[in-house]
Structure 1
Amino acid sequence: MQRLAFKMKLNKGQKEVYKKRHDELWPELKKLLKENGVSEYSIFFDEETDTLFAFQKVSGEGGSQDLANNKIVKKWWGFMADIMEVNPDNSPVSIPLEEVFYLE
């Protein structure tokens, strides 16, 4: 099991919209994540910087960031593109974070 963390940037004033969309996460996307080994996935928000901090546990080699070619993921990215920083393909600008401490 690997632990992955990354950060993303939310557009100003979009926290509630972001939260609502994730509270109503599409069942097919949830299923896809679980089928691809994502067993835990949390996203935290820093109000001072509008930064999202994401953490996930993944069995296997990949994580949610490795599903870029899946049509469900591409549709989700398009759905979220209006409220966060995205790349030209609508994928979130996502910066991997290095783990420097872990207490089990």
Structure 2
Amino acid sequence: MKRYGAVIGLDAAQIAEYTKVHAEVWPDVLKQIKNSNITNYSIFLRQPENLLFAYYEYTGQDHDADMAAMAADPVTQKWWDLCMPMQRPLDTRKDGEWWAPAHEVFHLD
């Protein structure tokens, strides 16, 4: 199992809507997340900075392949089409990144 974290901004005007849609995530999106070997997935909101921090644990053998399968899923693509306009990627992210990775510096079980 490997842990992953990432950060992105959230449009202040979209906080209520983003919170609402995540209270009612589409079942097929949840199924795809699980099929991609992701567990213990959480998204946290930090205000007033309007930063989202996502955390998940990956239990599969090929993270890149599982993420590609998720990205190819039509329902997940529609979910992202809904959520991405509400998000504000960090200026410091690398080319090709949407959520900027955060690297673990401490963990206690």
User: If the TM-score is normalised by the length of the shorter chain, which range does it land in?
Assistant: 0.7 to 0.9
| Structure 1 residue identity aligned to 2:101 | P
Aligned CA-pair RMSD: 2.1
Distance in 1 between residues matched to 2:85 and 2:38, nearest whole Å: 25
Structure 2 stretches lacking a partner, 5+ long: 90-96
Q: 1:93: which partner in 2?
A: 98
How many residues are paired up?
Answer: 99
Q: Does 1:68 align with 2:75?
A: no
**Any residues of structure 2 matched to 1:12-91 within 5 Å, and which?**
12-60=12-60, 61-62=62-63, 66=67, 67-85=70-88
Normalising by the residue count of structure 2, what TM-score does the alignment of the two structures yield?
0.80
Distance in 1 between residues matched to 2:50 and 2:108, nearest whole Å: 27
Contact 1:9–1:93 (Cα < 8 Å) also in 2: no
Distance in 1 between residues matched to 2:74 and 2:63, nearest whole Å: 17
| Structure 1 residue identity aligned to 2:43 | I
**By how many angstroms is 1:82 displaced?**
2.9
Q: Does 1:103 align with 2:108?
A: yes
- SS at 2:85's partner residue? coil
**What percent identity do the matched residue pairs reach?**
30
Normalising by the residue count of structure 1, what TM-score does the alignment of the two structures yield?
0.84
Deviation readout 1:13-35 (Å, 9 max, x if unpaired): 32221111011100000011111
